[in-house]
Chain A
Amino acid sequence: MKLNTNSNAYIIIYSAVLVVIVAFLLAFVYQALKPMQDANVALDIKKQILYSLNIRDLDGAEAEAKYAEVVKDTMDFGGQKILMAEINDEPIMIFEMKGMGLWGGISGYMSAHFDMETMNLKVYGAYFNHEGETAGLGAEIKDSQEWQEKFIGKRIIKEGADGKEKVALSVVKKVEDPETQVDCVTGATLTSNGVDEMIKRTFGIWTGEYDFAVDESELTMVLLKACLSGNDSISDAELEKMLKVRKVKEEE
C-alpha cells in the first residue's frame, strides 16, 4: 500500500514523531556532554580572572595551578562577587562586573589595589568579555589587550566637586583627566558606554552612588582588613588614616 504523504493526518503525525525523536537526541547529547562543558566554562572564568591580574598566555592545567596559587578567597556582597588575590605579597581585590553592551551582555573582571603612598584605590588590571559585539569594533574590549592595559594605574574613586566621593574611573571620548579617564574604543561608543556604566555600578557599591543591600562602610572595613591581614607593618593609626581617607564614618 502506498501512503498518501500529502494527507493532513500524515503530515501532522510525521512532524510530531520527527520532533520527538530530535528532542530526545538533543537532550541525550546535552546531558552526556554537560560535565565536560561545565569544566571548560569554569576554567575559562579562572583564565579571565588571571587575565585581569595581567597573567596571560597560560593554558589548561597551568592556569588552574596559577589560579590556585594566586586567588585566596571569594566573597559575596549582596550579589557582587569580590575575589581576594595575592601577588608578590601584595593584596589585590578582583571585582566581577556585569553590564550591557550594544548587542548583548558584557562582563569583565577588574582588579584593584591600594596605592600604599597615597592610599588611593587604583586599577591593577582589567579584562572584559562580551557575548555578541561586532568584531573589530565593540569586540575590541575583549580582543584588544592594549585597550585593557590602558586601565592599569587609573584611580577608581575620587572626590567630586561637591566633596562627595564618586566613581571617577570612566571611559570617555575625550580624556580630560588622565588620572581617572580612559579613551573609549573608536567606532564603539555604545559598547564603551556599557563598559563605563558597568564600572560605575560595580564600584558604586563602595561610594553608595547606587542602591545596594550592603552597608558600604562595613564593606570597606571588611575589604581593608582582608587586604591587610598578615601585614604587621601597618599600625592601627595608619589603618585609621586610611579609613579617614576613604571617608568612612566609624560611628555608622
Chain B
Amino acid sequence: MALFSKQNKEVFTNPLNLDHPILGQVLGICSALAVTSQLKPAIVMGLAVTVITAFSNTIISIIRNTIPNRIRIVVQLVVVAALVTIVSQILKAFAYDVSVQLSVYVGLIITNCILMGRLEAFAMQNKPWPSFLDGVGNGLGYAMILVIVGAVRELLGRGTLLGFQIIPDACYDFGYVNNGMMTMPAMALILVGCVIWVHRAYFYKEK
C-alpha cells in the first residue's frame, strides 16, 4: 500500500473537514475554550495536541495486538499520560512563559476527549501509518479552531496578534475600545459556536 494512497489521504483530510474533531465530532471543546484568549498559547496548545495525538495513535497502533482487551483503556491512558508529561517537561525547559500560561491545561491534554476518542475509534483497529496520519489530521483540525478563535479573541480583546499591536493608535484616539468581553472564556464558547455554524452552513455535506 502506498504511503499516500487514496484511503490514507482520506484518513488525513477527513478530520480537517467532514469528520472535524471539534466541528463534526464535537470533541475537545473544554480545552478549546480555556486556552484561546491569546494566539500564542493557542498555537502551542494546538501543536502539543497534534504531537501527542500523532504519537499516541502510532504507539497504540503498534502495540494494539498485544494489548489485553480488558485493560486497554488503562494502557491507552498510560501511553497518553507519559507523552503528555514529556511534552509538559519540554515546554517547561524551552518555553517557560508559555507553559506557565497554559498551566494546568497541558496536564489536562490527558483528558482531552480527542485523544481517547481517536485511540479507541481508530488506532485500536488500524495500522501504524494510517493511525499516525489520523492523529496528525485530528490534531491539526483541533489546532485550526484554536488558532481561529485565539486570533479573533486576541485581536478584538487586546488589539494585538502574538503580542504585536495590530490596531493602530489612531483608532484608539478616535475612541475605539478593546472589547474586554473577548478575553472572557464565555466568548470562546460563542465564537466556537459561530465557527461550527459557518462550517455546517457552507462546508459540511451530509454523507
Q: A6-B69, A22-B81, A36-B94 given. 13 additional CB < 8 A pairs?
A: A3-B66, A5-B69, A11-B70, A14-B67, A18-B78, A22-B78, A22-B79, A37-B92, A40-B92, A40-B96, A43-B96, A135-B185, A136-B183
B65-102 residues at the A interface, CB under 8 angstroms: 66-71, 74-75, 78-79, 81-82, 85-86, 89-90, 92-94, 96, 100
In Å, the complex CA distance between A40 and B97 comes to: 9
Interface residues on B, range: 20 to 34
Is A88 an interface residue when CB atoms closer than 8 A count as contact?
no
Is B161 an interface residue when CB atoms closer than 8 A count as contact?
no
- The minimal Cβ–Cβ distance linking A25 to chain B, given in whole angstroms, is 6
| CB<8 Å pairs between A and B, sample of 10 | A5-B67, A10-B68, A15-B71, A18-B78, A22-B81, A30-B89, A33-B93, A37-B96, A43-B96, A132-B104
- The minimal Cβ–Cβ distance linking A90 to chain B, given in whole angstroms, is 30
User: Which residues does chain B contribute within 8 Å of A3, judged by CB atoms?
Assistant: 66
Is A19 an interface residue when CB atoms closer than 8 A count as contact?
yes
Whether A37 and B67, one on each chain, are in contact in the complex, defined by CB atoms closer than 8 angstroms, is no
Whether A26 and B184, one on each chain, are in contact in the complex, defined by CB atoms closer than 8 angstroms, is no
- A interface residues, how many (CB within 8 angstroms): 24
Whether A36 and B93, one on each chain, are in contact in the complex, defined by CB atoms closer than 8 angstroms, is yes
Whether A40 and B78, one on each chain, are in contact in the complex, defined by CB atoms closer than 8 angstroms, is no
Is A29 an interface residue when CB atoms closer than 8 A count as contact?
yes
Find the A residue at minimum CB distance from B104: A132
Whether A26 and B93, one on each chain, are in contact in the complex, defined by CB atoms closer than 8 angstroms, is no
Q: Give per-residue flags for A1-26: 1 if the beta carbon is below 8 A from chain B beta carbons, else 0.
A: 00101100011001100110010011
B residues near A, CB below 8 A? 34, 37, 66-71, 74-75, 78-79, 81-82, 85-86, 89-90, 92-94, 96, 100, 103-104, 183-185
Is A179 an interface residue when CB atoms closer than 8 A count as contact?
no
Whether A26 and B82, one on each chain, are in contact in the complex, defined by CB atoms closer than 8 angstroms, is yes
Whether B85 and A26, one on each chain, are in contact in the complex, defined by CB atoms closer than 8 angstroms, is yes
In Å, the complex CA distance between A136 and B180 comes to: 11
- The minimal Cβ–Cβ distance linking B56 to chain A, given in whole angstroms, is 12
User: Which residues does chain A contribute within 8 Å of B104, judged by CB atoms?
Assistant: 132
Whether A11 and B68, one on each chain, are in contact in the complex, defined by CB atoms closer than 8 angstroms, is yes
Is A165 an interface residue when CB atoms closer than 8 A count as contact?
no
In Å, the complex CA distance between A30 and B85 comes to: 9
Whether B70 and A14, one on each chain, are in contact in the complex, defined by CB atoms closer than 8 angstroms, is no
In Å, the complex CA distance between A11 and B69 comes to: 9
Whether B82 and A6, one on each chain, are in contact in the complex, defined by CB atoms closer than 8 angstroms, is no
- The minimal Cβ–Cβ distance linking A3 to chain B, given in whole angstroms, is 8
Query: Among the listed A14, A19, A25, A132, which residue makes an inter-chain contact with B66, where contact means beta carbons less than 8 Å apart?
Result: A14
Q: 6 closest Cβ contacts across the A-B interface?
A: A40-B96, A36-B93, A33-B93, A22-B82, A11-B68, A5-B68
Find the B residue at minimum CB distance from A143: B183
Is A197 an interface residue when CB atoms closer than 8 A count as contact?
no
User: Which residues does chain B contribute within 8 Å of A135, judged by CB atoms?
Assistant: 34, 37, 185
Whether A6 and B92, one on each chain, are in contact in the complex, defined by CB atoms closer than 8 angstroms, is no
Is A44 an interface residue when CB atoms closer than 8 A count as contact?
yes
A36-90 residues at the B interface, CB under 8 angstroms: 36-37, 40-41, 43-44
Whether B89 and A29, one on each chain, are in contact in the complex, defined by CB atoms closer than 8 angstroms, is yes
